[in-house]
A = this chain, B = another copy of it.
Amino acid sequence: MAKKNGLDGYCVPFFDDGNKSKFSLASIDPSSKPFSTGSKETDRERLAEIGVLLDAQQERLHAQRVQRVLLVLQGMDTSGKDGTIRAVFHEVDPLGLRIVPFKAPTPIELAHDFLWRVHAQAPAAGELTIFNRSHYEDVLVPYVLGSLDKEERIRRYGHIRDFERMLAESGTTIVKCMLYISKDEQRERLQARIDDPTKHWKFDVSDLDARKLWNKYQVAYEEALAATSTEYAPWYVIPADSKTHRNVMVGELLLRTFESLKLEFPPAKESLKGVIVE
């Protein structure tokens, strides 16, 4: 397993290491809580602490305006992409955070290559950008629906690796998280939305169609993660049946990623020394 951030066991082995056949989602238990203290209250305190620390890190990123950070969030319906963003980035200055939701591509987007709309949303210097779904939808969905054969998938994985390497070599730190829930947990969450009429607006009947393809999606995720986890853009699998655990783990991962950048505020400007404003 890759050595990174103390989250080694949850990092998908790097493609470049020739490990691609060894990765299995089944090796991870979605109901496990490796980053929990065992107490929900203490976990929430830690999450609040992480929020404040992330805000401080992000301010340095913004002040420096050199590096960029990109978090990619993927996961099945109800896996908690929205909830993670809300909980983990609650304390981060909204000025320094850009969230990009990717929906089903529009006709204009489909008229371009699949990375076209994604590249346009890449983080600028000093930005922390979160992709809420991403270019990975453009391999996962057509794979599951049967419109993307193996040859074309392999080509797309190569395009993704090349694209992400280019971003990384241009100063973007990339972290990718798959929020991993069990099929049972999804049933409970979907049922809860159905049973609460005030939550119906969050519910789309197509969610039930996607659920019927659950096993195909697991296979598709397994293949995509193994083919695109790299030193410069690693994939982490986040056990996400527990929302609190999911939030803490994503928060810890981001925080350690930021800390590894050793961001400092820019130095004082000598030219400003002793200047008096009139």
Which residue numbers of A lie inside 8 Å of B, CB to CB? 63-64, 82, 85-86, 89-90, 92-95, 97, 99, 101, 132, 187, 190-191, 194, 197-198, 200-203, 205, 208, 211, 265-269, 271-272, 275-278
Contacts and interface: CB of A to CB of B under 8 A. Distances in A.
Given A89-B94, A200-B269, A211-B277, 12 more contacts: A94-B97, A95-B99, A187-B277, A191-B276, A191-B277, A197-B268, A197-B272, A198-B265, A198-B268, A200-B266, A200-B268, A203-B269
A205 B271 contact: yes
A212 B63 CA distance: 26
Most chain B beta-carbon contacts within 10 A, residue among A64, A92, A269: A269
A195 B64 CA distance: 19
Most chain B beta-carbon contacts within 10 A, residue among A191, A201, A203, A269: A201
Contact of A187 (B94, B271, B278): B278
Contacts of A99: 94-95
Most chain B beta-carbon contacts within 10 A, residue among A211, A271, A276, A277: A277
Given A200-B266, A265-B201, A277-B211, A272 B194 contact: yes
A200 B265 CA distance: 9
Contacts of A85: 94-95
A99 B97 CA distance: 9
Contacts of A63: 201-202
A167 to B, nearest CB: 21
A86 B96 CA distance: 10
